[in-house]
Structure 1
């Protein structure tokens, strides 16, 4: 039975949304993704930077929930309110793409997990793996079209499947932790030590962004909150809880296996670490929990991806056809476009040597613009004083704190663009530039000119970057 349209969410529910959105495929692959680029010291520094930066971003969401309660159409609403229609559109397009890429990473990871038993699936990017994943995409698609919008039982199973294997993993590896092995892994070994600590830490930045995607979970559903103040608190509580899990999974693994062995694990690498301690049943235990978890998360993120387009169309950010619903109240046009993009991305994984890593880094790259614009909007409010009213001492102090936190969040998200490197920035423009066709349609429908002069310049830069990326891919200068 569908939930009532006026259903309101309390703090525990909102917090669960944040945790559920953030704990997905990424945490199950942390031992390998960190082991490939850094040792224990680099991991500690990386989590300090990422934790501090994302904490500032969590504070930004808390501030905006309080300062701009009317902006409840999604993360992109902040970009549109602060920087105009086109950047608002790009933020919506980026967030939607993140949902799609995240779902691609789920399928790749499922097939990679099964590949340990059935070699035909390889690392999740073989023809057989892509074919079966494609069947799964369209099976879920037609199921959703029939009106599968609420799945309380499934969500409960998913929550258990996510948390139980992680907690068991942490308990077992904590007991088996070898301090001397952790010390040997501390600098990453001779090869990584030669690259330098800065390079090691930089190599982890997009990985840390990927596992934090979903921090905005409470904000996305903020209009359903019983109390607006719960949105920010839920974001903070969910973030801190997940951060503890991420740090422990990463660091404890360095006390179980040598860094080079961690780097060589197939994903989900958490299964390989647990197997090294307890034997084959550990890998099976983690793998089963991951598959159930990821399948449930896939359904949730499919709905969220369609919801992003649907909501953006209703607020005139996307073309009106994406707001169309079928008789089951499912946004079918948005769902079709979502799954067509997922299908295209799945086919692209056939040509990627490290398909999961490609999906991970592209997801991280695409989320940077929505996060950067959100932080910049909070900074703009604090600088201009908009929404702060008169400035007695108490409010002035609050504004100064908001200004500092927003500035740090903006600096952090801007730094991530640099840390991600030119390759993934250019690849993200391959999506942003042609995706602007949807903005063109939306503006024409509203009878408005497509770009302001500044927006026209932004589009020209994006288009030039996209051309460079396509040229690089065609000539082999960019390898995915």
Structure 2
């Protein structure tokens, strides 16, 4: 039997992977998420910081795709090349977990949206919601098993389909924008008098990370690119387009409803904003757009999750069985493990009151290590001069951009707070078992002395987190 020819993606498909990964559940919840913690001024500052920091990170991915074209799978490969096997593994594990948690948040939000019409779904974390979501998980699973190219084509169509409702939302809300309402919301208004501007901005940081997760979509799928140069271009194009949408959705909403009213909207809160402008049909319209958007994003993240596990296994940081492919060239073992974890996370939402918010913040926290290691690797290359031997021009600019991206990622870890850092270690520490299996089956020593120290820190943090959860000092 002849094997399928290698599947390659052109620039539009790679760009759709970036946009499709970033535009999911988060954008539809921005009015309420920002309205709970800040006014218009704080939102502008938050987007300026997040946009600048993520732009530097986009430049980092563009630079690394050009300087290190032999490294596939983006965040994982860069971390391993720069800092060794175990940090590379942690980056892969963190990114994979992000994909799974993100997909859980998508199902919760879909069922929360339907809960407005069908109370049995509640806020997306009832038994009925979990049962229907579980059916969806496995329908997508078997569709992806039929081939990555088919799934990528569906993702491109879904990306176009979900951008259209957002653009229509922006048009109607722009016409319904009231300058006096925006002015009242600018400094926060009632309820935020005691909150300083710094605290308001800090409260939005993990949210801004969540909506930008996916910026590395083209980089993760670089082995499928027809031209390596398309990877960096797709990353920048996707980022800039999505940034415009995020800022407009947030800021225009402050001109429709007062901030306290935005803060108590049911998610997807874009539905409540549009309903205030055009009437009840606006809520239905946004809800339909959200379901299309989230299902498309779910497909993107399922592809990315399996790809990261597959690539890490090929580079000997994950157990060898995860590199297995079916006759359609789909990494089926990685896909099975991914969807089993998503299923387990989904069941756990039954025990969390604010399942969507928890998944959002934990997703944002888990992605910070992969982003930090990627930016730090670009900084390391620029400082050492590696890969600049034949082309010194541009090294200074790369150094500045990588330094700023590294500083931004480190600052986000601080902004996220100790709670979510410790909760992320609950996943990193036991997940190291996969690394130990991979090292043993290839006859390698499990840890170097430095790696053993890193694992001890992660394990200690995980123990603290479990203790905090057991005693009620850490709540979810």
Q: Normalising TM by the smaller chain, what interval? A: over 0.9
Number of aligned residue pairs: give it.
475
CA offset digits 1:124-159 (Å, max 9, x no partner)? 112221222122223333444455761466335412
For the 8 Å contact 2:220–2:308, the answer to whether it is kept is no
CA deviation after TM superposition for structure 1 residue 228, in Å: 2.3
Q: Measured at CA, do residues 153 and 326 of structure 1 come closer, stay the same or move farther in structure 2, by a change above 3 Å?
A: closer
For the 8 Å contact 1:3–1:150, the answer to whether it is kept is no
Note the residue ranges of structure 2 that are not aligned, 5 or more in a row.
none
Equivalences for residues 314-333 of structure 1 within 5 A: 314-333=314-333
Alpha-carbon distance in structure 2 between the residues aligned to 1:9 and 1:57: 23
CA offset digits 1:173-218 (Å, max 9, x no partner)? 0011001101101111242231111111001001000110111111
Moved more, 146-155 or 182-191: 146-155
Give RMSD over aligned pairs. 1.8
CA offset digits 1:266-324 (Å, max 9, x no partner)? 11111111011111111111111211222233233223212211121111110001122
For the 8 Å contact 2:23–2:297, the answer to whether it is kept is no
Indicate yes or no: 2:417 matched with 1:421: yes
Alpha-carbon distance in structure 2 between the residues aligned to 1:401 and 1:284: 47
CA offset digits 1:390-440 (Å, max 9, x no partner)? 6xxxx5551111111100000000000000011110110000000000000
The equivalent of 1:386 in structure 2 is 386
The equivalent of 1:16 in structure 2 is 16
For the 8 Å contact 2:113–2:267, the answer to whether it is kept is yes
The equivalent of 1:258 in structure 2 is 258
Indicate yes or no: 2:398 matched with 1:402: yes
Alpha-carbon distance in structure 2 between the residues aligned to 1:152 and 1:327: 17
Q: Measured at CA, do residues 44 and 433 of structure 1 come closer, stay the same or move farther in structure 2, by a change above 3 Å?
A: same
Indicate yes or no: 2:470 matched with 1:448: no
For the 8 Å contact 2:20–2:156, the answer to whether it is kept is no
Indicate yes or no: 2:421 matched with 1:438: no
Alpha-carbon distance in structure 1 between the residues aligned to 2:40 and 2:413: 24
Q: Measured at CA, do residues 160 and 343 of structure 1 come closer, stay the same or move farther in structure 2, by a change above 3 Å?
A: same
The equivalent of 2:372 in structure 1 is 372
Alpha-carbon distance in structure 1 between the residues aligned to 2:343 and 2:67: 39
CA offset digits 1:214-244 (Å, max 9, x no partner)? 1111111223333322221221121111101
Q: Measured at CA, do residues 7 and 302 of structure 1 come closer, stay the same or move farther in structure 2, by a change above 3 Å?
A: closer
For the 8 Å contact 2:94–2:369, the answer to whether it is kept is yes
CA deviation after TM superposition for structure 1 residue 24, in Å: 1.1
Alpha-carbon distance in structure 2 between the residues aligned to 1:316 and 1:463: 23
The equivalent of 2:180 in structure 1 is 180
Alpha-carbon distance in structure 1 between the residues aligned to 2:268 and 2:57: 28
Alpha-carbon distance in structure 1 between the residues aligned to 2:212 and 2:193: 27
Indicate yes or no: 2:471 matched with 1:469: no
CA deviation after TM superposition for structure 1 residue 387, in Å: 0.7
For the 8 Å contact 2:76–2:308, the answer to whether it is kept is no
User: SS of 1:191's equivalent?
Assistant: coil
For the 8 Å contact 1:210–1:363, the answer to whether it is kept is yes
User: SS of 1:479's equivalent?
Assistant: coil
Alpha-carbon distance in structure 2 between the residues aligned to 1:300 and 1:5: 22
Note the residue ranges of structure 1 that are not aligned, 5 or more in a row.
none
CA deviation after TM superposition for structure 1 residue 446, in Å: 1.4
CA deviation after TM superposition for structure 1 residue 119, in Å: 1.4
